[in-house]
Amino acid sequence: MIRKFGFIRWIAVLALSSSLALAQGGELHFCLKSEPKTFNPVLTSDDSEEVVRYLTGGVLVRVNRQTQQLEPELATSWKVTDAGRTITFKLREGLYFSDGTPFSADDVAFTMKQLMDPKLHSVTGDAFRSGNGDVTTKVLATDRVAITFPAPVAGIDKLFDQVAIMSAKSPKKEMAVLGPFYVADYKAGSYVYLRKNGNFWKRDEQGHKLPLLDAVKLDIQPNRDIELMRFKRGELDLINALDSDYFDKLAAASPNQVRDAGPSLDSEQMWFNQVPTAPIPDYKKAWFRSQNFRQAVSMAINRADLCRIVFAGHAQPAVGPTSPANHFWFNSKLRPYPFDPQDALNQLALAGFKMQDGVLRDSGGHAVEFSIVTNSSSKPRERMATMIQQDLREVGIKVNVVVLDFPSLIERIGEKFNYEAALLGLINTELDPNVQMNVWLSSAENHQWNPNQKSPSTEWEADVDKLMRLQASTADPKKRKAAWDRVQEIVYDQQPFIYLVNKNALSAVSPNLANAQPVVLRPQTYWNIDELYLRNAGDRAGK
């Protein structure tokens, strides 16, 4: 009897584990928006390259995209010392790269050397540059490494979430990886094919080896309509960033396939050209430098309508440089500018503007008219600019919407300063506001409204410079938060950027894809790639 039960139990276990094996695995399909130029994680700069890096790269620590907390990965623990100048990692032992090369502290040292090579101009590396001087990496043991920077680096530990460790010894160079997948095949213009890394170190709570998927196929597809079409047909398992245009249509047909994770970290904003040497009339420069003018324009824009019409309700009026989705860093005392055309007119009157026969004129009698430039590849921005055109008409301002291709736009706003107002967006990949240093420092390149200042041209910009340097130089989160809160308040008053909306993080997930829990932080849908699997893994083999 006991033998019979034992046999039955054995059969049951076998059936259960084989059904689990059958249920898990599969080949995940989704799209890249553009062709990756490189698979070298140190040289990653655009979205598609970051996708491949996320899926293949092993990192020392990982920001859990759901909890927004830092978790150990290749490092079991870490310590920040020397007021944020030094970080020491204790590494996991007995790990191997995808090609079998053993992992050790030497690989971390090698990676840091590549990352900080000034000739490579790595985007990831630049995030670590805190001052003049070299970054030194000391291998303390095979499983311990200390990295020292010339000056404190704000949020230093979280930055390692972006650093994929490369092998110092492997003949495959950057193609040998520590992440859940490795690049197995690449067809230019067509796809990138990733296979499961048999040497990946992670296991789930039940002890199963991760990742659960067998492979990931990334089709290169710049067209969003085709991506959606393929998703509806079941050829794709997810759309990581779904346009709001398509969200409700897809939701009407298949409500269980769409996800709205709430406001993302990204923002859309417009600003006025305040460069003193800009080739625009002086009277216009005077308008744009006027705080009252900027505040009035901000008040005259109906942000709720932008959210409702352009983003089909899948956006929120924005307040400032930090989205409310960024729980810790957002200054919760601030609220979006209210839509109040009358108050806008009052504000304009304070600056000497008057309405005459429906046309707003300045104190010199010039009719207020300016152009907004934006990039052609973004229909939402074109629509927002057109809606702002109508909103400002109500306060007597004539706006011309000019859509340009991106290189022409960059030339105007970044080189020749031959523009009046611009409407663009900011993609925030990280929570820490230090990543916006090159936006808020008045001497920086991306201080869009008036970049590369030799010294701050206004008192408030000098204040912002001080506050940004303060938050970068201390490791105390409370002090940093206080400094950044104050920056947000100044920006709110001065409106150098008129923040418009924070778009929601929208995605589409096939019901066939298990364990998907879309969140706000990038990559929204496949952040837990090692735990995802396809329920009907055999159904689309070889497609």
Q: Which of residues 113-172 bind another protein (CB under 8 A)?
A: 118, 121, 123-124, 126-127, 129
Beta-sheet pairing, 191-196 with 215-220: antiparallel
Tally Cβ neighbours within 10 Å of residue 365: 9
Amino acid at 325: A
In the complex with another protein, the residue whose CB is nearer, 90 or 447, is 447
In the complex with another protein, the residue whose CB is nearer, 228 or 301, is 228
Question: What residues between 235 and 254 interact with another protein by CB under 8 A?
Answer: 245-246, 249
Shortest spacing between CB 291 and another protein, in angstroms? 24
Instruction: Give the start-end residues of each E strand in 65-158.
Output: 70-72, 75-81, 86-91, 136-141, 144-148
Say whether residue 394 binds another protein (CB under 8 A): no
Say whether residue 107 binds another protein (CB under 8 A): no
Are 471 and 434 within 8 A, CB to CB? yes
Shortest spacing between CB 372 and another protein, in angstroms? 9
In the complex with another protein, the residue whose CB is nearer, 71 or 445, is 445
Binding pattern for the stretch 426-465 against another protein, x by CB under 8 A and - elsewhere: x--------xxxxx----xxx-----x-------------
Say whether residue 376 binds another protein (CB under 8 A): yes
In the complex with another protein, the residue whose CB is nearer, 93 or 225, is 225
The pair of three-digit structure tokens given for residue 149, joined into one six-digit string: 């920077």
In the complex with another protein, the residue whose CB is nearer, 214 or 391, is 391
Shortest spacing between CB 446 and another protein, in angstroms? 4
Please name which of 431, 494, 429, 442 lies closest in space to residue 468, comparing C-alpha atoms: 442
Task: List Cβ neighbours of 155 (8 Å cut-off, separation of 6 or more).
Answer: 430, 432, 434
In the complex with another protein, the residue whose CB is nearer, 43 or 95, is 43
Shortest spacing between CB 201 and another protein, in angstroms? 29
Backbone φ, ψ for residue 426 (5° rounding): -120, 125
Say whether residue 187 binds another protein (CB under 8 A): yes
Q: What's the angle, vertex CA 387, arms to CA 340 and CA 299, rounded to 5?
A: 20
Shortest spacing between CB 57 and another protein, in angstroms? 17
Question: What residues between 300 and 319 interact with another protein by CB under 8 A?
Answer: 305, 308-309
Question: What residues between 493 and 522 interact with another protein by CB under 8 A?
Answer: none
Alpha helices in 325-396 (DSSP H): 341-350, 379-393
Question: What residues between 40 and 69 interact with another protein by CB under 8 A?
Answer: 45
Shortest spacing between CB 130 and another protein, in angstroms? 10
Residues 323 and 499: their CA atoms lie apart, in Å, by 10
Say whether residue 214 binds another protein (CB under 8 A): no
Are 143 and 93 within 8 A, CB to CB? yes
Residues 527 and 516: their CA atoms lie apart, in Å, by 9
Q: Which of 334, 410, 462, 514 binds another protein (CB under 8 A)?
A: 410
Shortest spacing between CB 403 and another protein, in angstroms? 5
Task: List Cβ neighbours of 93 (8 Å cut-off, separation of 6 or more).
Answer: 142, 143
Residues 306 and 290: their CA atoms lie apart, in Å, by 25
Are 519 and 505 within 8 A, CB to CB? yes
| Region binding another protein by CB under 8 A among candidate stretches 51-59, 106-114, 148-156, 363-371 | 363-371
Task: List Cβ neighbours of 357 (8 Å cut-off, separation of 6 or more).
Answer: none
Residues 233 and 228: their CA atoms lie apart, in Å, by 9
Amino acid at 400: N
| Region binding another protein by CB under 8 A among candidate stretches 85-93, 206-214, 409-417, 454-462 | 409-417
Shortest spacing between CB 371 and another protein, in angstroms? 4
Shortest spacing between CB 52 and another protein, in angstroms? 14
Shortest spacing between CB 486 and another protein, in angstroms? 20
First vs last Cα of the chain: how many Å apart? 49
Binding pattern for the stretch 24-43 against another protein, x by CB under 8 A and - elsewhere: ----------xx-xx-----
Shortest spacing between CB 163 and another protein, in angstroms? 13
Q: Which of 188, 282, 364, 459 binds another protein (CB under 8 A)?
A: 188
3-state secondary structure of 500: strand
Q: Which of 207, 255, 358, 407 binds another protein (CB under 8 A)?
A: 407
Residues 472 and 458: their CA atoms lie apart, in Å, by 21
Residues 434 and 471: their CA atoms lie apart, in Å, by 8
Please name which of 328, 327, 331, 310 lies closest in space to residue 319, comparing C-alpha atoms: 331
Q: Which of 82, 405, 493, 539 binds another protein (CB under 8 A)?
A: 405
# chain residues binding another protein, by CB under 8 A? 75
| Region binding another protein by CB under 8 A among candidate stretches 70-78, 201-209, 330-338, 384-392 | 384-392
Are 48 and 506 within 8 A, CB to CB? no
Q: Which of 105, 156, 175, 228 binds another protein (CB under 8 A)?
A: 228
* Helical pair 341-350 and 291-300, crossing angle rounded to 10 deg: 170
Residues 480 and 459: their CA atoms lie apart, in Å, by 21
Q: Which of 63, 168, 265, 387 binds another protein (CB under 8 A)?
A: 387
The pair of three-digit structure tokens given for residue 356, joined into one six-digit string: 């005459």
In the complex with another protein, the residue whose CB is nearer, 189 or 538, is 189
Shortest spacing between CB 4 and another protein, in angstroms? 55
In the complex with another protein, the residue whose CB is nearer, 407 or 542, is 407
- Which residue bears the tokens 């997930």? 509
Shortest spacing between CB 482 and another protein, in angstroms? 23
